[in-house]
Copies of this chain bind each other. A is one copy, B any other.
Amino acid sequence: MTTSTYTVTGMTCQHCVGAVREELGRLPGVSDVTVDLDSGQVTVTSTDPLSTDDVRAMVDEAGYALAS
């Protein structure tokens, strides 16, 4: 099990949090996504390490951006 933390910019409300959680939850092997709206910190738990490009693509898909 791997846990990684990312910073996502642009989330302003709990609907945004839900959109990010939903998209990241679609990545294979992801079992948990925790989002802290105030800080933009997103913690993803997965069976194997995730590709940052995949995470970035899903965050983009939700309408937000991964801080570099």
Contact = CB atoms under 8 A, between A and B. Distances in A.
Interface of A: 12-16, 18-19, 63
Nearest to A12: B12
Contacts of A16: 13, 15
Contacts of A63: 14
Nearest to A13: B12
Nearest to A19: B15
Nearest to A10: B13
A16 to B, nearest CB: 6
A16 B16 CA distance: 9
A17 to B, nearest CB: 10
Nearest to A63: B14
